[in-house]
């Protein structure tokens, strides 16, 4: 018997597992989806690695086998994918590698009812097995290695790891099913779970039931239970919304429903299939500095890569899905994908298509579009300064909050509402919509019926620098200098205030300048305030105030 080592889970994992073990989550069946999803990823990874590493070539058919032993009360999920070595086992099943899961743990409250709701929102991948299993044994051998490893745990604080016997590469996961979870030992139940969640998985999934009674005899022999063809290659009319949604969850490692999908095929000069989704909720890594695009690239149905493929620009990084190319060579390495002209051409065309789709939604399905914009507008706006060629198109697409009501407005609609003598598009930036709306700096604008855009995203200060105007109308910050309000009369509805005599105002200003000294560069009377007595503004030539704050926050 080879020696085993006892190791402690990372603290966060322990917290997570504690909640899994004691979970009262009603959708426990998702553990199988998670195991199948991982097994499928493992097959994809090995298939790809074998393309460029002939030492690995086995020519074998990939597959996932689910075997139930009713007598022993176990479920085994086995794959012949890439497997894991010792370090990978420790890193993947002992720590929290994914930013999404890390966020999940941070949100845990200790109140099991509240926490249980989080499972559905975040998903927890592999660790979900402890909702249905007392103990779990993972035996795995990495492709190309000679040593296999066994990982065992009851999900309470520690796990054991040691050398093991395993002839073939890949991973076996044995779940010792809890007494209250024996429904998952039934053929009917498992078959149903697989077809509900994993029908789209592109490798065959077999199911076999052993150790049962007479009724299970015909199920002893392993039978394929999923459709098994790549979903994006199937005709649209054959795919249900539910199947699309399940695929989205698998491909995007997501737990929300897709807000929108785009499925099409391109033929001619270039040949490729696209199946992309816009999530409902922000993916966890949305504001990671790496800004990685997560769309998976396949070549003739073989998985190639899901990071750094440059298939979509950074400002569309919230999208999930696959692009399957017929033109790239099968043995394309991940390095070759950078600056690859075929990828560049696809990326350009796909980006245009996505933009076109968003434009259509904006006009034809406004409500849906505005939901998407609410989640991802701040990211899309990065394109205004990053993607010069698409700047005008993105400015047209963008929606903003303004003093004209609570809803979203386009710049075109803003311009249509501009007053006769108004030549500029006024805006205020800052980090909180509510505060901005109360800002004294916009009073004079409001009283003249001048609309002010409320820009609460950090990115707003950046795109404004790269976009001086919209269709000839310059953007102008209301926190800046002596704005040209005097030309425009206060609207009749606004209460006319008695003007103080000129002399008194001059005296007051002189006095204030004396008191404030070099804390300010100037003090002057302004027509921009109606309710508030005074406010701070940046000078015409100085930096916009919010920009100054942003840079200060970054220690510049």
Binding site for Mg ion (CB under 5 A): 37-38, 125
| Partner from ligand ADP, Mg ion, none binding residue 460, C-beta < 5-8 Å depending on class | none
State the residue number with the nearest CB to Mg ion.
125
Closest CA to 115 of 12, 249, 24, 9: 24
CA distance 111 to 107: 11
- Quick one: tokens of 393? 């198109």
| CB nearer ligand ADP, residue 16 or residue 378 | 16
Q: What angle do CA 418, 441, 502 make, to 5 degrees?
A: 100
Task: Return the number of the residue (42 or 259) whose C-beta is nearest Mg ion.
Answer: 42
Asked if residue 325 lies in contact with residue 346, where contact means CB atoms within 8 angstroms, the answer is: yes
Q: Do the bridges between strand 469-470 and strand 473-477 make them parallel or antiparallel, or are there none, so unpaired?
A: antiparallel
Distances (CA, A) of 117 to 121, 269, 284, 375: 7, 48, 17, 21
Which residue, 84 or 380, has its beta carbon nearer to ligand ADP? 84
Q: Which residues pair with 7 in a beta bridge?
A: 159
The count of other CB atoms within 10 Å of the CB of residue 270 is: 14
Residue window 242-261: x/- pattern of binding to ligand ADP, with contact defined by CB under 6 A: -----------x--------
The residue (of 96 and 485) whose beta carbon lies closer to ligand ADP is 96
Q: Where are the beta strands (DSSP E) in 15-114?
A: 64-69, 74-79
Q: Distance between CA 357 and CA 275 in Å, rounded?
A: 13
Among 17, 18, 34, 461, binds ligand ADP (CB under 6 A): 34
Q: Residue 283 interacts with ligand ADP (CB under 6 A)?
A: no
Using CB under 6 A, which of 17, 39, 328, 361 touches ligand ADP? Answer: 39
> Please, what is the minimum distance in Å from the beta carbon of residue 325 to Mg ion?
25
Closest CB 231 distance from Mg ion, rounded Å: 18
DSSP class per residue in 495-518: PPPPPPPHHHHHHHHHHHHHHHGG
92 in contact with ligand ADP (CB under 6 A): yes
The smaller minimum CB distance to ligand ADP, of residues 42 and 136, is found at: 42
Strands 452-455 and 425-429: parallel
38 binds ligand ADP (CB under 6 A): yes
The answer to whether 125 contacts ligand ADP (rule: CB under 6 A) is: yes
* Closer to ligand ADP by Cβ: residue 81 or 430: 81
List the one residue from 20, 84, 259, 378 that touches ligand ADP (CB under 6 A): 84
Exactly one of 152, 153, 171, 477 binds ligand ADP (CB under 6 A); that residue is 171
Residues in 54-83 at the binding interface with ligand ADP, rule: CB under 6 A: 79, 81-83
In whole angstroms, how far apart are CA 517 and each of 167, 264, 536, 543? Answer: 82, 66, 15, 21
Nearest to 248 by CA among 233, 236, 262: 262
User: Residue 152 in 3-state DSSP?
Assistant: strand
CB 125 → Mg ion: shortest distance, Å?
A: 4
Question: Does residue 285 interact with ligand ADP by CB under 6 A?
Answer: no
Contact of residue 273 among ligand ADP, Mg ion, none (CB under 5-8 Å per partner type):
none
Q: Does 126 bind ligand ADP (CB under 6 A)?
A: yes
Contact set with ligand ADP (CB under 6 A) = 34, 38-39, 42, 79, 81-84, 92, 98, 125-126, 171, 253
């Amino acid at each position: 018997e080879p020696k085993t080592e006892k190791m402690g889970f990372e603290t966060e994992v322990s917290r997570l597992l504690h909640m899994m073990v004691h979970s009262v989550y009603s959708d426990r069946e998702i553990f199988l989806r998670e195991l199948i999803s991982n097994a499928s990823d493992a097959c994809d990874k090995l298939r790809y690695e074998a393309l460029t590493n002939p030492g690995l070539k086995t020519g074998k058919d990939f597959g996932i086998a689910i075997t139930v032993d009713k007598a022993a009360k176990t479920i085994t999920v086995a794959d012949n994918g890439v497997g894991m070595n010792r370090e990978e086992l420790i890193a993947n099943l002992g720590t929290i590698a994914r930013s999404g899961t890390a966020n999940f743990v941070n949100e845990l409250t200790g109140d099991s009812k509240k926490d249980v709701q989080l499972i559905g929102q975040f998903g927890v991948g592999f660790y979900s097995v402890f909702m249905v299993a007392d103990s779990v044994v993972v035996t795995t051998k990495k492709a190309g290695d000679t040593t296999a490893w066994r990982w065992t745990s009851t999900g309470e604080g520690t796990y054991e790891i040691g050398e093991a016997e395993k002839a073939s590469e890949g991973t076996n996961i044995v779940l010792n099913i809890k007494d209250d979870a024996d429904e998952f030992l039934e053929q009917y139940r498992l078959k149903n779970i697989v077809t509900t969640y994993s029908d789209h998985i592109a490798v065959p999934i077999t199911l076999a039931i052993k150790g049962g009674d007479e009724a299970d005899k015909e199920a002893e022999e392993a039978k394929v239970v999923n459709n098994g063809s790549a979903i994006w290659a199937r005709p649209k009319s054959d795919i249900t919304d539910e199947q699309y949604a399940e695929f989205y969850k698998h491909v995007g490692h997501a737990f929300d429903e897709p807000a929108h999908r785009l499925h099409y095929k391109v033929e001619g000069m270039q040949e490729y299939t696209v199946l992309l989704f816009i999530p409902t909720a922000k993916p966890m890594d949305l504001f990671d500095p790496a800004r990685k695009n997560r769309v998976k690239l396949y070549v003739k149905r073989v998985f190639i890569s899901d990071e750094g493929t440059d298939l979509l620009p950074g400002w569309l990084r919230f999208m999930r899905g696959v692009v399957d190319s017929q033109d790239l060579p099968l043995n394309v390495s991940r390095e070759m994908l950078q600056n690859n002209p075929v990828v560049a051409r696809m990326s350009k065309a796909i980006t245009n298509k996505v933009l076109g789709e968003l434009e259509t939604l904006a006009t034809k399905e406004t409500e849906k579009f505005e939901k998407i914009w609410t989640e991802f507008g701040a990211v899309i706006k990065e394109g205004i300064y990053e993607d010069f060629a698409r700047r005008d198109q993105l400015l047209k697409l963008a929606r903003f909050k303004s003093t004209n009501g609570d809803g979203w407005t386009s710049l075109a609609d803003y311009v249509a509402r501009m007053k006769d003598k108004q030549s500029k598009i006024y805006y205020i930036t800052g980090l909180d919509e509510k505060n901005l709306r109360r800002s004294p700096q916009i009073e004079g604008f409001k009283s003249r019926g001048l609309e002010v855009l409320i820009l609460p995203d950090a990115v707003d200060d950046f795109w404004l620098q790269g976009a001086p105007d919209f269709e000839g109308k310059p953007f102008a910050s209301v926190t800046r200098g002596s704005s040209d309000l005097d030309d425009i009369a206060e609207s009749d509805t606004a209460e006319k205030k008695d003007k103080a005599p000129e002399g008194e105002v001059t005296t007051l200003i002189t006095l204030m300048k004396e008191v404030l000294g070099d804390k300010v560069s100037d003090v002057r009377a302004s027509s921009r305030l109606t309710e508030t007595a005074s406010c701070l503004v940046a000078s015409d030539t100085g930096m916009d105030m919010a920009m100054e704050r942003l840079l200060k926050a970054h220690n510049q």
